[in-house]
Structure 1
Amino acid sequence: MQGLLPILFASVAGMGHAFEPDHLLAVANLISRRNTLAEALRDGIYWGLGHTTTLVLVGAVILLGRVTFLTSPWFEVAVGVLLVGMGVSRLLEQRRPPAKVRPGAAPSRAAFAVGLLHGLAGSGALVLLVMSEIRSVWVSVLYFAVFGVGSVLGMFIVAGLCSVPFTQRMRISRVVKLSAVTLSSLLCIGYGGWMIWENVRW
């Protein structure tokens, strides 16, 4: 029973991980550029895959080297800088006329890259910390598989929910959509700035 506790933790943490504030803001910022629910959901999946990729790569080092994972506040700082940059970039984009981009190209790659960086911040670090204490290789592999599936599924749900005020299918006015984009961008900048302030030793 004790050996199953990490798996139970992974099943809960994987799904709940997607609902952390920095993840919600990052994904909302990404999908605010999308026009359909399908595109938004695809970005959610790419984010989840990128996030899981980072955890798997670092977890493999822990598993093969049997090293103890140490958390660092600079991971949080990096995510904070990313959020500020995403918020500012989205605000500046509103001033330019919309460009015709091939559906699913650059935005999906951006979602994957953002997920990669988020993998070592927040509860992602906690996941690796728990994993470093597991002695069984097979339990470790199952632990990552369960967390990875939960993370992708959770972000798939988050992307669908966050896309509601942004997609054209909702048939909302341009003013409402503009307000939603501005608010999400300002929240992104504000929360990112708070993460930097809290984790940098001034």
Structure 2
Amino acid sequence: MFTFPLLLTIYAGFIHAFEADHLLAVSNIVSQRDNIRLSLKDGIFWGLGHTSTIFLIGVLMIVFKAGISDQYFRYFELLVGAMLIALAIYRMFIFFKTKKVVIHAHPHHHAGEQHNHLHVHVGDKAVHQHKHSLAYGVGLMHGLAGSGALILIAMSQMKSPIDGLIYLVVFGVGCIVGMLVAAGLFSIPFSKKIIQAQTLQSILIIATSLLCFLYGGKVIYDNLVA
């Protein structure tokens, strides 16, 4: 009787990792990697950070009976929106700091006439890649968003405070596995061993950063207007 709820909780955590704001954040993190193994570790650390926050708030609400109003959770959502914007800006800063863009013209002959065509080349500069603490910190912040609703679910399922905390830990395990998979998938376009087209990689970096920025703005707008 215990196996099915356990698997269902792990599955819920796994699916939770694939929410839009989570995927945008992890894509901006792993796009700084050129190694899938490091990206997978980023996914694990993101999941650990996410679980840490939820578990901490769970202890406060379930064990110590601390009351946290919905207004505070709206503030938490605002912080997450601001974090997404900051992460997008940081990613673009790193991109322009570490990428060498060369624009030059080549002469070409067509029908006996010479024309100049612009060519753009994107190359890498030497860069020290960030530690996994960035992924852990982003996970910590993300754990704030929606944690209230999740803990209320845990409280409704529990027969004792220990049951509620176990529920949160099991959910966190599913979330870690989900983010591990997501980080691995999103890191594929940025792995030099798989895709070597640096111009394509640059377009993807700019696109994911822009989406992360816009989504962060949407989160802030929704919670300020609602």
TM-score for the superposition, normalised by structure 1: 0.88
| Structure-2 residue corresponding to 1:198 | 222
Equivalent in the alignment of 2:191? 167
* CA RMSD of superposed structures (Å): 2.2
Structure-1 separation of matches of 2:19 and 2:160: 29
Selected match of 1:128 from 151, 164, 172:
151
Partner of 1:14: 13
Is the 2:55–2:169 contact (alpha carbons within 8 Å) kept by the matching residues of 1? no
Displacement of 1:135 in angstroms is: 3.9
More strand by share: 2
Aligned to 1:32: 31
Q: Distance in 2 between matches of 1:65 and 1:171?
A: 51
Task: Give, in whole Å, the separation in 1 of the partners of 2:92 and 2:206.
Answer: 7
Q: Which runs of 4+ in 1 moved over 4 A?
A: 3-9
Instruction: List alignment gaps of at least 5 residues for structure 1.
Output: none
User: How far, CA to CA, are the matches of 2:80 and 2:126 in structure 1?
Assistant: 27
Q: 1:132 to 1:6 in 2, by over 3 A?
A: farther
- Equivalent residue pairs, number: 197
Structure richer in helix, relative to its length = 1
1:66, distance to aligned residue in structure 2 (A):
2.7
Within 2, Cα distance between the matches of 1:196 and 1:12? 29
CA distance in 2, matches of 1:175, 1:185: 15
3-state SS in 2 of match to 1:110: helix
Asked if 1 retains the 8 angstrom alpha-carbon contact of 2:189 and 2:195, the reply is no
Give structure 2 stretches of 5+ with no counterpart: 99-124
> Partner of 2:170 in structure 1?
146
Match of 2:53 in 1: 54
Comparing 156-165 with 91-100, greater Cα deviation is found at: 91-100
SS in 2 for 1:169: coil
Shift in Å at residue 27 of structure 1? 0.3
Give the direction of change, closer, same or farther, for the CA distance of 1:147–1:176 in structure 2 (3 Å limit): same
Cα distance, 1:120 vs. partner?
Answer: 1.5
Instruction: Decide which structure has the larger Cα Rg and report it.
Output: 2
